[in-house]
Structure 1
Amino acid sequence: MTFSGLSPAEALDVLLAGNQRFVRGVPLHPNQDAVRRSELTAGQEPFAAVLGCSDSRLAAEIIFDQGLGELFVVRTAGHVVGPEVLGSVEYGTNILNCRLVVVLGHDSCGAVAAARAVVAGEPPAPGYVRDIVERVTPSILAAQAAGLHSDSEMIDTHIRHTVDLLLDRSRVLAEQVAHHHVGVVGLAYHLAEGKARLVTSRGLPETTTGDTPTHAAV
């Protein structure tokens, strides 16, 4: 199975179709054998870059039912963005030709919970965890300013904020989206259901809530 030549919308459909298989409990586990491992020694051609939270329950290849060499994955606690993340995402789209960038958040996110606690007046975390919390805090403040207070609303706001941050800080990515070469989406993963829900998109045709593939059925 190869996904070379996919459009950003088709790449999203592949991910959502894989997630549906995962939710239903009928994953294909594609491209995870010794043959695939050998094929990839010559190079990689992932079709999507995923910036996800480091949470151990959020393994992108598993929840999207993808194999070796198909996803270029960057993970940080709370999917916070720094220079290393921006460079990694740009490497995925500019060097590896990934057609889709996914920001993958989830419910019960510890980084979001920690930022909410600090905003509520609790003392900040020690060490470099404090830096992570500080990067999530603007999302919490923005959500509260908009009258949003539930966990899902906070998570969605933080996902949207990360998508905006990627495009604001990376001229390379913004130009790729403007020229319709790359699409950027934000997905929220629900731990209990295993389902990824579309929160926001940039550079793609109109999409639905993410419950079903929206463009090319793959």
Structure 2
Amino acid sequence: MIRYTKKYTQLIWLIPIGILIFLFGYKKAPILPSAGEVPQEYVLDFLMEGNERFSADEPLHPDQTLERLRDLNRGQHPVAAIVSCSDSRVPPELIFDQGLGDLFVIRNAGNIVSDYEIGSVEYAVEALGVPLVIVMGHTNCGALAAFVDHDHDHSHIYPEYIQKIIDYIDAEEEEKALPRDIPNFFDKAIEANVLHGVHELKKHIPHADSLINHKHLRIIGAIYDMETGKVKVIEDK
């Protein structure tokens, strides 16, 4: 009798949990389709819904299991390619609440789009068939801050390869077109750099015009707000 009582006394801590479930109900986690099941015309909506979960502090962290990892060993089928900044605070998979194998991500300081990035995106489009490419900048970007500082003060000396990044951004036509006396020059410079990346990809990805016209490919820009966690799509005017 003592052994019987001891056995069930150890489970008494479950009673409060049972009461709470009874009083407030059990909130079942939503069942989402895997990214690969989403029709290509809805991929952006799917990613933005993931960002809404992330920014609301309600991420689901889908497809991040060892089983998923082993499945991917047989091949990858990402639903989007994303060119983003290397900034440690800007991880695309977390920002869009996606899992292993869902996103083909190219990262560098300042989300620059030059030859190597174009080649990587070309692979994603041609070999992997991604229907969506996003060039994503972010607020308070260090690379763009260096560009803005250098634009205002050419006397500042940066290390050689950081200067190469600054010079690349400085040579972009979209940056040259910005008035220097506007109060939000930093934010507009971030946006102009994103749009430059979009223009470069549309110009250099093979058959991009045809793919876009036939709705097999979409190339867009976006800005991630590090304060709110939200991603905003920017229009290519």
* Same fold by TM-score greater than 0.5: yes
- Contact 1:8/1:183, CA 8 A, preserved across alignment: no
Aligned to 1:100: 132
TM-score under structure 1 length normalisation: 0.85
In 2, Cα distance between equivalents of 1:71 and 1:35: 18
1:75 matches 2:110: no
Is residue 115–residue 140 contact of structure 1 (8 Å, CA) maintained in 2? no
Tell me, in whole angstroms, the C-alpha distance in 1 between the residues paired with 2:39 and 2:182: 37
Can you give the 5+ residue segments of structure 1 that lack an aligned partner in the other structure?
203-218
Partner in structure 1 of residue 191 of structure 2: 156
> 2:178 aligned with 1:135, yes or no?
no
Aligned residue number for residue 182 of structure 1: 217
Q: Deviations over 1:135-164 (max 9, x none)?
A: 111343322269574332222222112111
Q: Which of 213, 224, 228 in structure 2 is aligned with 1:193?
A: 228
SS in 2 for 1:75: strand
Distance change (3 Å), C-alpha of 1:179 and 1:148: farther
Looking at structure 1, the residues matched to 181 and 197 of structure 2 have their Cα atoms a distance apart, in angstroms, of 17
Contact 1:183 1:201 survives alignment (8 Å): no
Tell me how far 1:124 sits from its aligned partner.
Answer: 4.6
**Structure 1 residue corresponding to 2:121, chosen from 64, 69, 89:** 89
Report the more deviating stretch, 16-25 or 159-168.
159-168
- Relative distance call for 1:185 and 1:7 in structure 2 (3 A) is farther
Aligned position for 2:61: 29
Q: Secondary structure at the match of 1:184?
A: strand
Q: CA deviation at 1:2?
A: 2.9
Equivalent residues of 1:101, 1:183 under 8 A apart: yes
For structure 2, the 5+ residue unaligned runs are 1-32
8 Å Cα contact 1:32-1:68 kept in structure 2: yes
Q: What letter is aligned with 1:133? A: I
Amino acid in structure 1 at the alignment position of 2:101: G
Distance 2:61 2:216 in 1: 28
Q: Would you say the 8 A contact 1:185–1:199 is kept in 2?
A: yes
Measured in 2, the distance between the counterparts of 1:181 and 1:133 equals 34
Q: Which moved more, 1:148-157 or 1:162-171?
A: 148-157
Distance between the aligned counterparts of 1:52 and 1:172, measured in 2? Answer: 23
RMSD: 2.1
Is residue 203 of structure 2 the alignment partner of residue 171 of structure 1? no
Aligned length: 202
Inter-partner Cα distance in structure 1 for 2:218 and 2:183: 27
User: 1:206 matched to which residue of 2?
Assistant: none
- Distance, in Å, in 2 between the alignment partners of 1:148 and 1:4 is 43
Contact 2:148 2:186 in 1 (8 A): no
Contact kept in structure 2, 1:9 and 1:183, CA below 8 Å: no
Change (3 A) 1:99 1:146: farther
The structure showing larger relative contact order (alpha-carbon pairs under 8 Å, at least 6 residues apart) is: 1
